[in-house]
Structures are given as structure tokens and as C-alpha cells.
A and B are shown apart, each in its own frame.
Chain A
Amino acid sequence: MSVLSLRRTRAAAAIAITALVGVSLVACSSGSSSGTSSDTSTGSSAGGAAALDAALAKGGDLTYWTWTPSAKAQVDAFEKVYPNVTVNLVNTGGAGDNNLKLQNAIKAGTGAPDVVQIEYQSLLQFVLPGDVLDLTQYGFDSLKDLYTPGPWGAVTSGGIWGLPQDSGPMAMFYNKTDFDKYGLTVPTTWDEYIAAAKKLHAADPTKFIANDTGDAGFTTSMIWQAGGRPFVSDGSAVTVNLQDSGSKKWADMWNQLNEPGLLDSVPGWTDQWFKALSDGSIATLVTGAWMPGVFEASAPDGSGQWRVAPIPTYDGTPVTAENGGSSEVVTKQSKSPELAAAFLRWLNSDPASIKVFLASGGFPATTADLSSSAFIDQESAYFGGQKINQVLVDASKTVAPGWQYMPWQSYANGIYGDTVGKSYLNHTDINEGLKAWQDENVTYGKDQGFTVKTN
């Protein structure tokens, strides 16, 4: 067998030819676009809204990317009301794959859908480079009062970039069976929570008050609740301060669970985790109000064991934060922006659509639904007949204002495990982990051309 040669004599010619092809491709393809300014919109609101209605009457085709379970039912309902419009629904599986495909399509300059689901935390990443259509021109500001302040704030910063689909005010889901069995009282403050954690784990070392292997979304929401505002995004000027008083407050509190090993190391959103939720290994779950649907679907064996209570606080005053939640947006690439905007308007503000959404266990962002007595008084069989929405709606009213995400939040969350993960793994001070995370974020932000400060 002859030697492998790294001489590229003849192949050099071949490479040169393909290089020419490659270079011409580069010239054609759109790289990531420059510019940070948000689109300013023109045109009167009233004219904008009428244009949407006209587009609906005229009809056409749309592509809608989402991973919401109720999407198909919503699309079906929409097509019944507007038979001239055909919506091509694509289930993208989850936020990660969804964003990946969207990024690729944007980079290629073609292939992006008309309407796409984007989590609140990832919005800026698409808004800043100008990939999302500003909906102010279609009179969407008149829809402001339909939504609670948190979600609305998440989709509006220098423009109206989409409409909220749901919200996720945090509450505490707890396993009543465990609490009764081990004589725990439902905590209202974090100190009580920590006490309950110790009591539970001492009584039965296979049981834990909660699990946490490092969840950036959870951490940021908890910092939010503790009063921290570590991220400030103002165009290209960003502040990252994960050592502000709120961050420290949460980290010091959570250390009391992490360092003595009171947190289970089952990773969330795995089949092992669902098992643990079903059999009482995990006694509480502090997470967003969209969780009941997931309980019912994936932890059916836990039915009847769980209840909902307000999230514990530091000093007894009710306050909470949002965790997760998505919006839908219209992309700049859309060839039928008015039709897309009209569909979006129906999708996230029309009562018929929201009704379908709620039926599959979603938690609304609309004030009307949050205050409807039918919604509030619903009894949940899974939660032992408790009127869980009472707790969840109350939570939605205590969401602390003023929170912002970074323009590169998906990336930041992606590297959370690299940095803060060590603290969970080794049961050491989370503050140090947060500092490491902050440093990585500052480096990344500067690399990306932002001006980044740390206080």
C-alpha cells in the first residue's frame, strides 16, 4: 500500500477551480448582517390593521414553525375561520433545534418561515440583527392591554417584535404525599424551605426537596425573584453583573441547599426525572405556571400527589418571577408580511385560538383569561381537585418588573454548565460559579462587538 501523500500537486488545480466556486458563493451568500438598530415603522395604525384584514380575505400560504403542542389544533381552527389561507405547520421539536434552523435560514437568506415561535429569552438575539419584523406598523400597539406587563415587556423594546403566547409565573409545586409522610409544613419563606429540605433528607436520604444540576433558566428566574437585575441591554451597550445584591442573595440561599448535598442530581427533562416526580423522590418543583400540563402528560403516576403553593419568598412579601414562555414573531424574510401578521394576531389574541391553547394545558399571557372565573375556578384532577389556577393567577400578579435578558442569552445559557456547573458538581459556592459565568459572558459580549460593563 503506497504512502499517503500530502502533496496536492494535481489536486491544486482542482482546488483552485472549486475555490473560485467557493468564493463566488461567498459573494452571493449573505453573511450575518451588520447593524443593530431596530426597525422604525411608519404608517398609521388604523391603516395597518385594515391591511391585515384585507390580507386575510385575499388569502395565501404561510409557513409556521413551532413546537407548541396545541399548534395543530390552533391552525385547524384558523383555517376554518379563514378558508382562503393555508398554513403549513412545521413542528421543530424544541427551542434548540428551532433556533438552529432559524439561524441557518437567516444566514442563507432564504428558507425562513413566515411566523416562528421564539422564547422570550432568545428574542433579542434575532431582533438585534434585524431579522424580525416590527409589528408597530400594523397597529399592534392597540393590543397592549390584552396582555400582562411581564410578557408584553418581553416582546417590546424599541418596537413590537411579536405577541406573547404564554407566560410562566413561578410557583412551587409540592408533593403533598411526601409532605404529609415526613411531617413537613408547606414553606412560605426560603428559610422554611431550607429547614424542610434538611428535615426531609435526614428522614429519608433517597428523597430530596428539589433537583438542580445547573439550569440557567431557573437561576436567572430565581435571581429575578430575589431582586437582582444582572443584565441590562441597551442597544449595543450591555451590563453583566452577576454579583449584584439580588444575585448574591439567591446564591447565598441556594448554597445552603447545594453545599450540604440537599439537591438531587437527576437532570431535569429526562425520563429519570419524570420517574422521580412520579415516585416522590423529589418533593418540590419551583418552576413556571406551564408545568401542570407536563405533569399530566409525563408523570401520570404522580396524579393526586401534587399540589401548588405560592413560591417561597425571602421576607414574606409575595413576589415572583417569570420562567420561560414564548412569543411568536414574523420574520423579515416573510414574503407575505401582512398575512403573516394577521395570522399572528389571530393566533395569540383571538379568544378562539387561546381557548384551544389553554385546553392543552398552556398558561395564558392574556389578562382576560387570567381573570376569567371559569379559568380560575377550574379544579385539577391531577392536583387532587385543587383550584391550581387561583395560585398561578395570583402569582402572575406578583411578577417583579424591570427584568431584562442579554442579547445573547441562548449562548449564555448554553455555557452555564461549563462555568457554574462546577459549583453544583463539587457542592461549592455558587457565587464563584456565577462570577466565572459573568467573566465568560463579558468576554463573549466584547468579542461580539458590544460594549460590556460589569456594574
Chain B
Amino acid sequence: MSASAPPAVARRRPRSFVGLGFTAPFLLVFAFVLITPVVYSLYLSLFRDRLIGGRSFVGLSNYGHVLGDPKFWDGLGRVGLFLAVQVPIMLGLALVAALAIDSGRLRGASFFRMSVFLPYAVPGVVAVLMWGFMYGDQFGLAANLNDLIGSDVFRPMTPPWILVAIGNIVTWEFVGYNMLIFYSALRSIPHDLYEAAALDGAGSLRVVRSIKLPSLRPAIAIATIFSIIGSFQLFNEPNILRTLIPSVISTYFTPNMYAYNLSFVGQQYAYAATIAIVMGVVTAVIAYVVQLRGNREARS
């Protein structure tokens, strides 16, 4: 290792404004589309809207109100529980599917790749429509299964089961999405690693453990963080199901639904903004914590 390496090589990341040049277009649109409404929401959360009396400044009292609001905590607890169960299951399935499709040991891998992905292509409204039918205990699949077994066991749209039912829909919708993320990452692994492994006589499982999984770590981290964010923002599925079972799914079933109903049904825009900000902070903190732990494991 002579001095054949000039200093330019040792400095791996040129600190310059070139990077800013690449990033700027995105950041500009991002600032316009996302930052400005967030700032406005922050501002709005300091006020209060009333049908009689208009808008008035209330400082931080909305935040105090949120922290003491049982409906908020009900929704938050629910998405937390949902998150803890559904995300690992979904990511686990996606990981196994991606590994299977990439393994080269599957007949018709392209077909499976397409089939697993397909649910993601379906618009949310249609997906819930389909599953709403399947869950129907009078005409749906659940009814038929019940008839088959001769009991009343399958009742997905009742309080004990509704979270599982929703979790199933979300898993169905997004397993393909996550599978593709992992699959693309797997596709990016350089071939010479596999060649070296083959030279060493490594079998499939060893390859998976030693090459594929470590390479997937960043992708898994990203998928986890975004699934966490998605879970905290759960809205579409329970909201659409709500029209079918309004007694089971309340208007504050998830914090996002609570904010939506406050805004668009109750015209309490300022309070809704407060809920959104608080949820944003909670989500960001959890995502950050997950990220930190992921990094710590990676370094160890």
C-alpha cells in the first residue's frame, strides 16, 4: 500500500455545493407543497374556530386539550397496537416473498412477482370494497365459511375482530409494495459476491444469511420507518369501512380519522391542526428511535 493513493481518493465525499444542486429541485417543491402547509398548521393550532365568534387566539391551550382528550388517546393507543402487530407481520411476509422470488429456486418467479404486487395497484377504495364484501356476514365469504363450519366464528366486522380485519386489508394492500422494495435491493447486490460465495461452496440459506439479509438492512430500515408512519396515519381503510359499521368504528378510531372528522364534519380546523401536529411529533419521535436502534445494531 504505497502512496499511490492521491488525497483526492481518500476524501470520499467531496464537500461541495454540487450535492445541493442535485437536491435542490426536490427541496424547493417539497418546501412549497409540504413545509408551507405544515407551518400554516402550526400557526393554526394556536387558534380556535367557532361557529359563533369566529377565530380567536388561544395560545397553547389546544395542545393541553389534546393531551387530556380521551378520544385522542383511544385512537393513538389503537394505532400503536396496530403498528406493533401488523408491521412486523407484513414486513416479514414481504421479506420472505422477496427472498423467495429472488432465490432462483421458484418456478415462474415473474408470475409470483406480479401476483404479489398486484394488490398494491388497486385503489384503496376498491380494495376496501372488495374486502368489505368478503367480510360480510350475510352474503360474504365470512358467511359462507360460517355456514361451512356451522358456527358463528367468523365475524370480522365486530369489535373484537375489527382491528384484525383492518390489519388484514392493510397487509394485503402493502405486502407487494414492501416486497418490491426488498426485491429491488436484492437485485442490486453485485454478482461477484454470489460468485465468491459459490466458490466457497455456500448453500442457499447461507447465502441468504450472509449476503442477502445484510444487504437488505437499509431497505428493511426504510420500509420499517415508512410502515410505522403509515400505521400512525391509518385512515383510508377504517374510514371507508365506517360507512358499513358506524357503531363499531367511531369517528375517532384513529387519530387521523379524528383530525379529518374534526376538520370536515365539525369545522374545528384549529383543533384538527393541533391533533395533526401532535401526531406528527409522536410519529417522528418513534421513527427516530427505531432508526437509532437500527443503526446501533448495524454497527455492532
Taking Cβ atoms with an 8 Å cutoff, the residues of A that contact B are 1, 3-4, 6, 14-15, 18-19, 21-23, 25-26, 31-36, 100, 103, 107, 125, 128-129, 213-214, 236, 266-267, 269-272, 275-276, 281, 407-408, 410-411, 414-418, 421-422, 424-425, 444, 447-450
Contacts and interface: CB of A to CB of B under 8 A. Distances in A.
Nearest to A417: B246
A18 B35 contact: yes
Contacts of A4: 287-288, 291
23 contacts: A1-B295, A6-B288, A14-B31, A18-B32, A19-B39, A19-B43, A23-B43, A25-B36, A33-B54, A35-B54, A100-B264, A128-B51, A213-B246, A236-B52, A267-B243, A267-B244, A410-B265, A416-B246, A417-B246, A417-B250, A418-B251, A421-B247, A449-B50
Given A6-B284, A34-B53, A213 B247 contact: yes
Given A34-B54, A214-B246, A421-B250, 11 more contacts: A3-B295, A25-B36, A32-B55, A32-B269, A107-B269, A281-B138, A411-B267, A421-B246, A421-B247, A424-B247, A450-B52
B247 A449 contact: no
Contacts of A32: 49-51, 54-55, 267, 269
B247 A425 contact: yes
Interface in B267-300: 267-269, 284, 287-288, 291-292, 295, 298
A211 to B, nearest CB: 10
Interface string B33-71: 001110110011000011111110000000000000000
Interface string B217-257: 01001000000000000000000001111111111100000
B222 to A, nearest CB: 9
A272 B264 contact: no
A14 B23 CA distance: 14
A276 B32 CA distance: 50
B139 interface: yes
Contacts of B246: 213-214, 267, 416-417, 421
Contact of B250 (A1, A276, A418): A418
Interface string B150-179: 000000000100000000000000000000
Nearest to A213: B247
Contacts of B31: 14, 18
A414 B138 contact: no
B243 A414 contact: no
B52 A21 contact: no
Interface string B76-100: 0000000000000000000000000
Contact of B51 (A100, A276, A422, A450): A450
Nearest to B281: A6
B261 interface: yes
A287 B174 CA distance: 41
Given A267-B246, A272-B139, A31 B49 contact: yes
A407 B51 contact: yes
A22 B139 CA distance: 51
B138 A276 contact: yes
Contacts of A448: 50-52
Nearest to A4: B291
B136 interface: yes
B99 to A, nearest CB: 21
